[in-house]
Chain A
Amino acid sequence: MIGFGILKGLAVTLKRFFQTYLVSNKLGRKHYFTPEGIESRYQASTEGIFTIQYPEEPPVIPEEFRYIPFLLYELNSEGVREYRCTACGICAKVCPPQCIWITRQTDPTTGRPVPHPAEFTIDIDICMNCGFCAEYCPFDAIKMDHDFELASTTRVNNRYSLEQLGKPVDYYAKIRPGNYLREESARAPKKQAEAG
């Protein structure tokens, strides 16, 4: 029959429409603006409307979601950022779109290079979120972020400096707990060898 497929498709829409009211009656306010409600609407088995109302309802982000890279730092006893980055430049070399620029610090008295970055710039309008930098970094110093709210009204603001890119290690442990535990356990024997 001509048009049967269209009717079948419209029936799906109509079914969803009525299910929305049934589900809202059954679950009430719990279905919206709560973590459980968002989680249930992400499932394939959800009934009724499945819109995630983004600004009010944060999306569920999987651990391996990646956006823009960030640099890990630890605060030392004086409250100064100690970046894990050693300015080796491997990330800048592997970066496919070449959006990383690094300059290494030099010792002011001897003029010799110091394994710390003086400048570290990532142009987030060129970065293609591939994650190669995080994959290749031998010091676990650069990792991929979960923050995607990066819209800006000027282009120059999108060239992130060392200050803007730096995020504490605790933040990394929060957004990627599994990866963090695995990497820390791999680093532990090396740290012990250095200490002892």
Chain B
Amino acid sequence: MDNVNPNKDGMVIPPELQHQVTVTTLDKIYNWSRSKSMWPMMFGLACCAIEMICTAASRFDIARFGMEVMRPSPRQSDVMIVSGTVTKKIVPYIVRLYNQMAEPRYVLAMGSCASGGGPFKEGYNVVPGIDKYIPVDVYVAGCPPTPEALLNGLMTLQKKVESESIATSPWYSKKSEPIPVPLLGPDLVDLKKIDLFPVQPPVENVPDVQLPSADGGAA
């Protein structure tokens, strides 16, 4: 890993004071500490999850980026890796998990299905991209992305985090960022509003049907 220059951009430190004095900004320390310990949420949806698990294993080892602590709780995680096909059944839970995550929170759409629906984009049961429901920070293409591609996506996310500033961050300002509510659009069925199983009125005066008896012939 290359050494991070902790000094403020454009700050000239005299040679005799180098490695002893650092002049930096709060933003830089804040973003440095945040970006080097992004904790992903332990949450997999489909085949991309296999690659995500593989990324955490020894060959690829996201511990090198300070991301090895896969949190099973949204309260403790910083980044949600939406790894796999998002079906209409799981969308409300993904949005709910996202809403439960503490700010600052990030979303990485891993693979074609999470980014744009992939091969199921016109399917009856699949959402064409999770970005219609929650804000996505990084899109990783691939079907599924190789572990290296996921690492590349996480590094892109780190770069994005490092470019942010406390002064403009929405999570410390008075107005919080709008909480996305899952929109049950035209192709999503709102189960509360339709009568899937309308109650049939009781049918009266139906003659008893004679069932065939056990020994063959009708009674």
A96 lies within 8 A of B148 (CB): no
A51–B139 touching, CB < 8 Å: no
B140 on interface, CB distance cutoff 8 Å = yes
Encoded as 1 (CB less than 8 Å from any B CB) or 0, chain A from 112 to 144 comes to 000000000001111111100000000000000
- Chain B residues, CB < 8 A from A129: 142-143
Tell me how far the C-beta of B38 lies from the nearest C-beta in chain A, rounded to whole angstroms. 14
Determine which of B60, B117, B140 lies in contact with A52 in the assembled complex, contact meaning CB atoms within 8 Å: B60
**With A50-B58, A51-B59 in contact, do A154 and B151 touch (Cβ < 8 Å)?**
no
Q: Say whether B115 faces chain A, with CB atoms less than 8 Å apart.
A: yes
Given known A148-B148, A158-B141, contact A153–B160 (CB-CB < 8 A): yes
Write the B115-150 contact mask toward A (1 if CB under 8 angstroms, else 0): 111111110000001010000111111110111110
**A49-B58, A51-B58, A158-B139 are known contacts. Are A148 and B115 too (CB-CB below 8 A)?**
no
Residues of A within 8 A of B153 (CB): 151
Option from A50, A123, A130, A151 in Cβ contact (under 8 Å) with B152: A151
B139: which A residues are within 8 A, CB to CB?
A: 125, 151-155, 158
Q: Is B112 an interface residue (CB 8 A)?
A: yes
Query: Considering the chains assembled together, what is the distance between the CA atoms of A59 and B148 in angstroms?
Result: 8
Chain A residues with Cβ under 8 A from B152's Cβ?
A: 54-55, 148-151
Contact A149 B59 (CB under 8 A): no
Whether A150 touches B59, Cβ cut-off 8 Å, given contacts A125-B129, A126-B112, A127-B112, is no
Chain B hits for A179, CB < 8 A: none
Across the interface, which residues of B come within 8 angstroms of A52, CB to CB?
Answer: 59-60
Chain A residue contacts of B151, Cβ below 8 A: 54-55
Docked CA distance A7–B40 (Å) = 30
Q: Does A35 reach chain B (CB closer than 8 Å)?
A: no
- Complex Cα distance A182/B89, Å? 48
Which single residue of chain B is at the shortest CB-CB distance from A129?
Answer: B143
* Bound CA–CA A158/B115 (angstroms): 10
- B20-64 contact mask (Cβ, 8 Å, vs A): 1 or 0: 000000000000000000000000000000000000001111001
A177 — which chain B residues lie within 8 A by C-beta? none
The answer to whether the Cβ of A53 comes within 8 Å of any Cβ in the partner chain is yes
Contact (A153, B137) CB under 8 Å given A54-B148, A97-B112: yes
Complex CA–CA separation, A26 to B10 (angstroms): 43
Chain A minimum-CB-distance residue to B144: A129
Q: Which of A31-59 contact B (CB under 8 A)?
A: 49-56, 59
Cross-chain contact B155 with A50 (CB below 8 angstroms): no
- Are A51 and B60 within 8 A (Cβ)? yes
Whether A125 and B141, one on each chain, are in contact in the complex, defined by CB atoms closer than 8 angstroms, is yes
Neighbouring A residues of B179 by C-beta, 8 Å: none
The 8 closest A-B pairs by CB, nearest first: A125-B116, A151-B153, A97-B119, A125-B115, A128-B143, A148-B149, A151-B156, A124-B141
A interface residues (Cβ-Cβ under 8 A, vs B): 49-56, 59, 67-68, 96-98, 123-130, 148-155, 158
Interface residues of B (CB under 8 A from A): 1, 58-61, 64, 112, 115-122, 129, 131, 136-143, 145-149, 151-153, 155-156, 160
Q: List 11 extra interface pairs beyond A49-B58, A55-B151, A150-B142, CB under 8 A.
A: A50-B59, A97-B112, A97-B119, A97-B120, A127-B112, A128-B118, A148-B148, A148-B152, A150-B141, A151-B138, A158-B116
10 A-B pairs with C-beta separation under 8 A: A51-B58, A52-B59, A96-B119, A97-B112, A97-B120, A126-B117, A128-B143, A129-B142, A129-B143, A155-B136
